[in-house]
């Protein structure tokens, strides 16, 4: 199947539709919530939570023997939450740095989870459980009820987000200040974190423990490059996340069923890459272009100002000058003069250059302009 | 200045770890003063303000605002945090930050409306930042960011203002603009408490001063207690020489 075929099938084929819808919703909700994690500089949190969820899946299987994803993910949710609150506890009670606490919980829970998984593998009916799919995810196992679950959680999440938008914003920007205004920052904090845990757990089946945090971070990091408004950022992150889900699924379905989770993450990474280079205000490319342009403008202005200063000492403003005189700073005067000729600020007669009326006027405006440009 | 006590602190002791950062502070701040808190780096000035505002939980002691707990009186209090305490790369505009000053009176869930926006614009005007209202906050200079924080506190329309180093990194013109606003607040009967580092300007700007270095060294009218003796006790070196240089 090639990509075109995929898009023609996606509406009619039940499996494809389910998977595509699932990954799109998942991308949207993780992108949305990922914005908060990124802005709180808790990039590692997602990684810690997803790894902390693994033992929950294993324990849930050991206790219930169930294979359906909802039961297993409930276990993941519980152990993910426990991990998260231990992290909080470690940070507030001891004085370990937060990355230490995150790393500690991540490795502790993941190690324990792996231990349990190997133990389960040795059990007689273990391979039927297919628990290892939660390591790297397996989008193909998504069924309609999973997608409904994701849609409902996303809906609730969106509702809460809109309801407490103002509270979330002030908590993200200035927590102490929010506290002095009487907001219970702990409640808001727990609310955000719980939703992040929930979104991660929802993604485990599709993307897996190992790569889940990328779903949280990549769309948000990409979105941050394009806007200076929180609302737009959250919206864009959701959009990028959803697109990553759809494209990722399309590519993996059309390429001999490449593993979906990693492909989705790679597509998200492409969004990040493009955003970091091409974003107009923060991207590397335009920064460089602006830098070069600013330098060139400055050179033009300097040359013009220099000629203006000489012209002021003469009665005739168009008094011609040899390049030797003008060339008193570095070697770039000739090129700059040519540009000024193009702009009609300077004329060239033989080997001498002289300021035009227009150039004189523009030069005298220069200082005003330079100061006014600020706003 | 009236006889009323705006802020009263009793036996306040605060520690982050084992070692106390503030030790047994007693402090009475009369209504209507413009007070400087001075002390060396790490003296606990920010910690004192944060404890009064309930951001930090003290180990012992109590704080009252006009005789009642801070929780009951928070609408009377505005706060300007130290500028470095937030991430200025946060995706938001100057106006948006100033609007946050209205969130307290709005309470949970309710959104700011036209009335709140108008108040925020007025505050921006007062600090001379109206032309920058739609600027992304990372594109403001340090002094402009400081003024945004001041505007956010002004919008709270409080009776008591706590400001943590509002003059940090501002140029002479901005400093004068800010101090004029503070003096105006005092004229309107408000109490203004400012963490201040420039000892030279204390007598000129303030009428009340508290010397702090883990313990309270002294508190009272500038003209009575702003002297070499207290400065030496607070900073641990002989200030006579350095201040007259
Ligand atoms: N979050 C924290 N955790 C641990 N110790 C802290 C914390 N914040 C401050 N301290 C310590 O408490 C003491 C007082 O800090 P505080 O910030 O109140 O000082 P300050 O007087 O405001 O100093 P500055 O003039 O540098 O702003 C310092 O020794 C500081 O190291
Ligand atoms: Mg301080």
Which one of the ligands is nearest to B25 CA? 1
Rounded to 5 degrees, what are φ and ψ at A184?
-80, 90
How many other β-carbons are positioned within 10 Å of the β-carbon of residue A315? 6
3-state secondary structure of A205: coil
Nearest to B51 by CA among B230, B193, B155, B205: B193
Shortest Cα–Cα distance, B89 to chain A (Å) = 9
What pLDDT, on a 0 to 100 scale, did the predictor assign at position B245?
38
pLDDT at B134 over 70: yes
Rounded Cα distance between B195 and B41, Å, is 11
Predicted-complex ipTM score: 0.94
Determine the residue among B91, B117, B120, B157 to mutate to test chain A binding: the one whose Cβ has the most chain A Cβ atoms within 10 Å: B91
User: Which H, E and C letters describe A304-341, residue by residue?
Assistant: HHHHHHHHHHCCCCCCCEEHHHHCCCCCCHHHHHHHHH
Q: Is pLDDT above 60 for A299?
A: yes
CATH architecture of A287-368: Orthogonal Bundle (1.10)
CA atoms within 13 A on the CB side of A343: 20
Nearest Cβ partner for B90 among A95, A173, A177:
A173
Which residues, 6+ apart, have CB-to-CB distance to A260 below 8 Å? A19, A23, A137, A138, A139, A140, A206, A248, A249, A252, A253
Which pLDDT belongs to residue B205? 95
Residues in B whose CB is inside 8 Å of some CB of A read 17, 50, 53-55, 71, 74, 77, 79, 81, 85-87, 90-93, 97, 100, 103-104, 106-112, 131-132, 136, 138
Residues with CB under 6 A from ligand 1: B 16, 21, 39, 41-47
From chain A, the residues in CB contact with B50 under 8 A are 176
**A374 pLDDT above the threshold of 50:** no
- Per-chain residues with Cβ under 5 A from ion ligand 2: B 46
* Residue A260 contacts residue A140 (beta carbons within 8 Å): yes
Nearest Cα neighbor of B34 from B150, B189, B169, B200 is B189
d(CA A17, CA A8) in angstroms, rounded, equals 11
What's the mean pLDDT when you consider all of chain B? 92
Considering every ligand atom, which ligand is closest to the CA of B44?
Answer: 1
Beta carbons within 8 Å of B79's beta carbon, 6+ residues apart = A177, A180, B49, B53, B153, B161, B162, B163
What pLDDT is recorded for position A43? 81
Q: Which residue of A has its CA nearest to B88?
A: A173
Q: Do A182 and B85 touch (CB under 8 A)?
A: no
Cα within 13 Å of Cα(B66), Cβ side = 15
Arithmetic mean of pLDDT, B229-235:
92
Cα gap A216→A203, rounded to integer Å: 10
A93 contacts chain B (CB < 8 A)? no
Q: Does A230 touch chain B (CB under 8 A)?
A: yes
C-alpha closest to that of A274 among A290, A259, A285, A258? A285
Which of B103, B132, B135 to mutate to test binding with chain A, by most A CBs within 10 Å of its CB?
B103
Give the nearest chain B residue to A185 (CA atoms): B55
**B109 interaction partners in chain A (CB closer than 8 Å):** 163-164, 166-167
Question: Tokens 């084929």, residue?
Answer: A13
Q: Is A176 on the interface with B (CB under 8 A)?
A: yes
- Strands (E) across chain A are located at 321-322, 346-349, 352-355
* A302, pLDDT greater than 90: no
Q: Domain A3-282: which CATH class? A: mainly alpha
pLDDT single digits (tens) B75-104: 999 999 999 999 999 999 999 999 999 999
Report whether pLDDT(B113) > 50: yes
Q: What is the mean pLDDT of residues A137-152?
A: 90
pLDDT, averaged across chain A: 86
CA of A75 to the centre of ligand 1 (A): 42
| The pLDDT of residue A303 is above 80 | no
Q: What is the pLDDT of residue A265?
A: 94
Closest C-alpha among B127, B131, B140 to residue B175? B127
List the residue whose alpha carbon is closest to atom 26 of ligand 1: B41
Q: How confident is the model at residue B8 (pLDDT cuts 50, 70, 90)?
A: very high
| Other beta carbons less than 10 A from residue A288's beta carbon | 11
Q: How far is CA B26 from CA B61, B67, B217, in A?
A: 9, 15, 10
CB A323 within 8 Å of CB A294: no
pLDDT tens column, A178-224: 999 999 999 999 999 999 999 999 999 899 998 999 999 999 999 99
B65 Cα: distance to centroid of ligand 1 (angstroms): 24
Question: What does the domain layout of chain A look like in residue ranges?
Answer: 3-282, 287-368
A176:B74 CB<8 A: no
Q: Which of A164, A165, A230 sits opposite B92 (nearest CB)?
A: A230
A41 touching B, CB under 8 A? yes
pLDDT value at position B101?
A: 96
Residue B244 has pLDDT above 50, yes or no: no
């Amino acid at each position: 199947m090639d990509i075109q075929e995929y898009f023609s099938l996606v509406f009619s084929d039940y499996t494809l539709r389910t998977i595509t819808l699932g990954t799109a919703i998942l991308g949207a909700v993780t992108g949305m919530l990922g914005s908060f994690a990124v802005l709180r500089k808790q990039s590692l949190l997602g990684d810690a939570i997803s790894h902390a969820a693994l033992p929950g899946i294993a324990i849930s299987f050991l206790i219930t023997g169930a294979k359906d994803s909802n039961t297993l993910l409930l276990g993941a949710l519980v152990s993910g939450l426990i991990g998260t609150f231990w992290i909080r506890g470690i940070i507030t009670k001891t004085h370990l740095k937060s990355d230490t606490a995150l790393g500690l919980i991540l490795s502790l829970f993941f190690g324990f989870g792996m231990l349990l998984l190997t133990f389960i593998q040795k059990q007689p009916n273990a391979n039927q459980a297919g628990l290892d799919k939660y390591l790297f995810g397996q989008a193909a196992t998504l069924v309609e009820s999973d997608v409904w679950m994701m849609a409902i959680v996303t809906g609730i999440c969106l509702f809460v987000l809109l309801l407490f938008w103002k509270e979330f914003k002030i908590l993200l920007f200035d927590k102490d200040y929010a506290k002095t205004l009487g907001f219970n920052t702990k409640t808001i904090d727990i609310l955000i974190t719980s939703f992040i845990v929930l979104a991660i757990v929802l993604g485990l089946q599709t993307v897996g423990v190992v790569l889940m945090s990328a779903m949280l971070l990549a769309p948000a990091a990409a979105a941050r490059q394009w806007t200076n408004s929180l609302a737009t950022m959250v919206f864009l992150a959701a959009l990028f996340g959803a697109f990553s889900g759809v494209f990722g699924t399309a590519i993996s379905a059309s390429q001999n069923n490449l593993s979906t989770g990693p492909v989705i993450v790679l597509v998200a990474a492409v969004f990040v890459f493009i955003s970091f280079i091409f974003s107009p205000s923060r991207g590397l490319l335009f920064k460089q272009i602006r830098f070069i342009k600013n330098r060139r403008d400055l050179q033009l202005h300097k040359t013009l100002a220099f000629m203006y200063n000489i012209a002021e000492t003469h009665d005739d403003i168009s008094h011609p000058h040899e390049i030797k005189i003008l060339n008193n700073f570095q070697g770039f005067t000739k090129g700059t003069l040519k540009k000024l000729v193009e702009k009609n600020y300077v004329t060239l007669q033989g080997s001498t250059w002289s300021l035009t009326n227009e150039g004189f006027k523009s030069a005298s405006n220069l200082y005003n302009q330079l100061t006014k440009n600020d706003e | 200045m009236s006889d009323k006590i705006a802020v009263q602190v009793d036996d306040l002791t605060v520690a982050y770890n084992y070692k106390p950062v503030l030790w047994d502070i007693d402090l009475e701040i009369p209504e209507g003063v413009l007070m400087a808190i001075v002390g060396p780096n790490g003296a606990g000035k920010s910690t004192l303000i944060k404890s009064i505002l309930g951001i930090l939980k003290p180990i012992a002691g109590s704080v009252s605002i006009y005789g009642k707990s801070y929780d009951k009186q928070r609408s009377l209090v505005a706060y300007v945090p130290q500028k470095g305490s937030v991430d200025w790369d946060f995706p938001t505009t100057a106006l948006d930050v100033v609007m946050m000053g209205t969130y307290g009176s709005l309470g949970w869930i309710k959104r700011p409306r036209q009335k709140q926006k108008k108040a925020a614009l007025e505050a921006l005007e007062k600090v001379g930042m109206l032309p920058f209202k739609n600027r992304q906050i990372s594109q403001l200079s340090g002094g402009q960011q400081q003024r945004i924080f001041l505007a956010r506190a002004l919008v709270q329309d409080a009776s008591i203002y706590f400001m943590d180093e509002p003059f940090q990194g501002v140029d002479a013109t901005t400093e004068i603009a800010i101090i004029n606003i503070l003096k105006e607040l005092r004229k309107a009967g408000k109490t203004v408490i400012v963490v201040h580092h420039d000892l030279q300007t204390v007598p000129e700007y303030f009428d009340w001063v508290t010397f702090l270095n883990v313990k309270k060294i002294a508190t009272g009218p500038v003209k009575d207690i702003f002297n070499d003796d207290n400065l030496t006790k607070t900073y641990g070196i002989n200030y006579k020489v350095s201040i007259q240089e």
